[in-house]
Each structure stands twice: as structure tokens, then as C-alpha cells.
Structure 1
Amino acid sequence: MQALLDQVLHSDCTRQRNALSSIGYRAQLAGTTPIAFLRAYFYAEFQANPLASPTEPAAPVETSPVKCGSCGKTFATQTALNGHGEARCQARLQRQPR
């Protein structure tokens, strides 16, 4: 079954189509829908090999502040600096000719 699922995810269109048809056929033989068949398959796999749960929560990733090169304003994340960007940076707006 794992090889069949690998074909669905990592093959060309023809192999994907054949693998999906095979899953549908196996579900029909089991007397269920393809979704219910896959759900039961993955549930059984999880029960056989449960994921190791961490004993303690993961430590938060600390990031250093990011500084705008134009106006010097600091932001907690690069995403926040990107949002500040061209449209909102007062130093850039003052330098642009009108």
C-alpha cells in the first residue's frame, strides 16, 4: 500500500491515475468509499506506529529585531519589516520626488 501511495504523490499523471484507480478498487472490494478506506488504513498505521510525543514543549525560537535600513525603525520579524516596506516608510516617502 505504501508503494501505491508513493506513486500517487511522486509519479507522472498516468501512474497517479492508475494508483488512484487501484485505491478505489481496493475500497470497493472492502465495501467502503475510498476516503473511508484511506482513513481506516492511516488509522491502522498510526495505531501500529504511534508518533513519539515530546515530553516537554519545544522551546520558542527567539529572533533578533530587524531594523529598517531607511528610517531605522525596528520590527520583531522580517515579515513585519516587509509590511512596513516601500509604502509606509516615512524616510523613503520623503526622499521620493513628487
Structure 2
Amino acid sequence: MAAAMSASLAEQLQAVTLAHAGERARVRQQQREGLTGPELELKQRHVLALRAARETLVKLLNDETPGRARLQHDAMVAAHGAPDLSDPTEPYSERQ
């Protein structure tokens, strides 16, 4: 049962990580194109919500199976080129 739950959490983490990276890239592109106002603010809040969801899933996985979860997370980040938001050395401006 625990293995199935951690697999499900890992799948959710992967989906949220990819969604976060994609949305963040779209927001940055739209900022470069000059998008401002409430629409941009809403999109930025969505990116922050995805980031919070991702961090929660990482914590849940680490609490459940610390070694396995970290290995899965590292493999996923490496495979997809997604930023590792758990890295405290990465500048905050790049973590959003």
C-alpha cells in the first residue's frame, strides 16, 4: 500500500513539476513581450501555487520514503531539465 501511494505521489510530483516549469517559462516570455496588469499577476500567482504544490509533494514523498523519494526527484529533475527548487543555493529570483 505504501509503495503504491509513493508511486502515486511521485507521478503527481512529476506532473506538477512539469506544469510549474512550463507555466513559469510562459510567464517569463509574456513579461518579455510586455504583458502587464491583472492578467500577468494572475498567471504569476498560478506559478506560485504550482510551486507550493510541488514543494508539498516533495515533503510528503521525503517523509514517506526519504531515500527513494530523493532519488526519484533527482532523476526526474535531471531527465526533464526542470529546476531543482529544493536547492537553497539557487538565487530566489530564479526559483519563482
Asked if TM exceeds 0.5, the reply is no
User: Counting strand residues as a fraction of each chain, which structure ranks higher?
Assistant: 1
* TM-score of the pair, normalised by structure 1: 0.31
RCO higher in structure (CA 8 A, sep ≥6)? 2
* TM-score of the pair, normalised by structure 2: 0.32
The structure that has the greater radius of gyration is 1
User: Counting helix residues as a fraction of each chain, which structure ranks higher?
Assistant: 2
